Structure 1
């Protein structure tokens, strides 16, 4: 038994480990260690020595990189989902920065659903016509002269309901009246008090 252990011990002491790199691996390590200028010269030299090698154009390299960026099994639906995620991230980042009232209202209009496109477009023009305080210094008809009366009325109402409520009006008094009308728990007569008894 002791003889077997002694033999195993002797074998263990005589074993040594060696790592042999494949030629391609050695070449890769050599190229990675080279400075850029030397690497460019080495590439030119190899291209001259070996007529089977061809230099790829930068557009081919870019195309190859783009193909690698999109998984082979991805579908346009996946791209739409990715686009939606990026849009959501953009909106969140935008809201953390200080933004103008117009930009804030336009963002809200951009996510409105089930509203006629013409009303949205009219509302966007109205928002762009507002001053920094959210007032419309001209009439809605002057701001959007081509809009039909019903479309204009709906667009004004839509903008007035956005956050902050009560924009797209001519003055503070009208703004308060609009806010009161949009409030669910407004006491009776609030609008009348605002319109008839509030001083300019």
Structure 2
């Protein structure tokens, strides 16, 4: 068969996501913190966007949409696209800077001199890290220079939890010192604060704390040395039999070990704790539940009138610059529309959830109903994928606490009084376990029977799966002997 080159015309349909639609989808699934960061980035990059303060009037989206239709580059004539009205007076670039500096501020554009001032970071306090804390203690010792050199290398190989991540052989090879000096340096650092620092494993960490508390030769040291697995599997009787000790003494020793710090370096961790900020509030006002969107941390935006007027000038900019301004203007308008649509979608989804879960908001978790994304999708006419984006990484605050929006979607279990939400069943299981006698914990079969007495039919393997999801150990590991 001969090869040949020819032209063909094919008609096909494709779904193409434009950059604007991709941006709208990303904004829809962003949580509060990420949205604020994205908007601040747009404020830096797009000159047509400016943050709205409380004193400035807010332009409605209808007005903004009306203006957005005027600079349309459909016919390719940029000069005609950006001419919005003949009533707008000529506005030169120099006039723009004169007006911005009319309040007496020196914006730096025409300043003759500039004196650099200290940055704000010079006035901030910083917390001492683990490495600095250990090096400070090393400087206070009177060890030899070789040991100090090895100890400094050792401190540099301690992770954020306080464990040494290099072996003795590796340190000897890198430092070029004898194994004896490296061993002495490790022992020196292990005497530093916090207790248990510079250990190679959990057992060594606990033994260092045993030595620091002067518990060597006691039952505590023996259990740490040989019976950590028995502690994990809750077998105090086996420990008592092994050492021919009273069960009460074993429980006392285990209680002391439980008070040790398994990660001595974490109190020096620089990881910042991030608190969840609710995206939606549901409050009861005058016997009626109201929905409030939380936009406190999100900058409010508007189109800069200064740059919009600059866009209308015919002779101020060349064709390339004017096209750049036109693109930025359209990008700003699309961002405002996307943010407005995001808020409307979140409100509608929350409103639909509140409609289906009204018993939850009135009475509590046990009255949570089974709910799927498809039900909400059909209710408000939005695709399930967008419902999933709206409910991802977003939280709702109500009288019963703060919950992720995904919390209100759950599968159903059959009961004598109809279907029951799996979320409410999990809450019931947690309540049953919290109220059980710790010296005689309930088995999975017993919990199944309690659920059936409350008209909830659940299989034992399903209960075991829910228990694992709730991170509740089996009854053999929940058992605690009374001291």
Greater fraction strand? 2
Tell which has more relative contact order, 1 or 2 (C-alpha 8 A, sep 6+).
2
TM-score computed with the length of structure 1 as normaliser: 0.47
Larger Cα-atom Rg: 1
TM-score computed with the length of structure 2 as normaliser: 0.20
